[in-house]
């Protein structure tokens, strides 16, 4: 990918990060964002660890290879980079991945953990997810138990993606959402759609 194209995408990711911070979805230094630079060999650009997303800019990204080794940039990649690499390997349509932490999503991931999914059906906003054309769509966001062993967690996510090839996101229990898109704009829209719907479900105080 040409440097000017990388800079443009990094600018889009940085803008998304600042907006998500303003909305309370990546407070503190939480969250991480990435974009695909090449599939063969696999190359990605990902936010450096410890950066407050409200101050994110184009200089806060690291270029990594498929072993999460730094090829370019300054800083330390998040341990969760392994999860980004896993998603890129197993979701062909993913070219950008956004990881956010919201209040409503965190609550729902705990509430619905035993069922295995945050299930959403019948809402017009579902049509904002890529490929969804009707409000009658049922979206199931798999819930995965959180772990600090990111190698093991990446294997769990690989299996979840194989079993749920049509899903638009995965939730790490009591942690945060991973969603993706063919462009940064698609991934950003998916975050917005999910967060709207998570809040709708959360405010209903589900009892199941």
Nearest to 61 by CA among 43, 39, 85, 45: 45
CA distance 150 to 121: 31
Whether residue 193 has pLDDT greater than 80: yes
Token pair 């009892």 in the structure block, residue: 207
Least confident of 69-78, 105-114, 141-150: 69-78
Token reading at 70:
């730094």
The angle subtended at Cα 117 by Cα 114 and Cα 119, nearest 5°, is 125
- Give the residue-averaged pLDDT of 128-139: 96
Q: What is the phi-psi region of residue 7: left when phi exceeds 0, alpha when psi lies from -120 to 50, beta otherwise?
A: alpha
Whether residue 206 has pLDDT greater than 70: no
pLDDT of residue 123: 97
Indicate the pLDDT class of residue 39, thresholds 50, 70 and 90.
Answer: very high
pLDDT of residue 51: 87
pTM to 2 decimal places = 0.94
Helix axis angle for 184-203 and 103-111, nearest 10°, is 60
pLDDT of residue 183: 96
CA distance 17 to 98: 9
- Give the residue-averaged pLDDT of 107-127: 96
- Give the residue-averaged pLDDT of 113-124: 96
The angle subtended at Cα 14 by Cα 11 and Cα 16, nearest 5°, is 110
Cα-Cα-Cα-Cα dihedral of 129, 103, 121, 143, to 10°? 90
pLDDT of residue 4: 79
3-203: CATH number: 3.40.225.10
Whether residue 139 has pLDDT greater than 90: yes
Whether residue 20 has pLDDT greater than 60: yes
Per the model's pLDDT, the better-predicted residue between 5 and 208 turns out to be: 5
Nearest to 79 by CA among 48, 108, 55, 109: 48
- Give the residue-averaged pLDDT of 123-132: 97
- Read off the pLDDT of residues 44-82 as tens digits, 9 standing for 90 and up: 999 998 888 998 888 899 999 999 999 998 889 888 999
């Amino acid at each position: 990918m040409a440097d000017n194209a990388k800079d443009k995408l990094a600018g889009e990711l940085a803008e998304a990060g600042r907006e998500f911070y303003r909305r309370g979805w990546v407070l503190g230094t939480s969250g991480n964002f990435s974009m695909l630079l090449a599939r063969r060999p696999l190359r990605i650009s990902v936010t450096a660890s410890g950066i407050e997303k409200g101050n994110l800019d184009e200089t806060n990204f690291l270029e990594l290879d498929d072993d999460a080794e730094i090829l370019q940039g300054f800083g330390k990649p998040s341990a969760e980079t392994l999860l980004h690499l896993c998603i890129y390997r197993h979701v062909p349509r993913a070219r950008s991945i956004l990881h956010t932490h919201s209040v409503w999503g965190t609550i729902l991931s705990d509430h619905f953990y035993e069922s295995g999914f945050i299930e959403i059906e019948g809402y017009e906003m579902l049509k904002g997810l890529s490929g969804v054309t009707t409000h009658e769509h049922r979206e199931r966001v798999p819930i995965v138990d959180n772990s600090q062993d990111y190698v093991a967690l990446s294997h769990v996510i690989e299996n979840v993606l194989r079993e749920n090839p049509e899903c638009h996101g995965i939730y790490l229990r009591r942690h945060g959402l991973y969603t993706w898109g063919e462009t940064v704009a698609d991934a950003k829209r998916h975050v917005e759609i999910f967060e709207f719907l998570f809040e709708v479900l959360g405010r209903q105080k589900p009892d199941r």
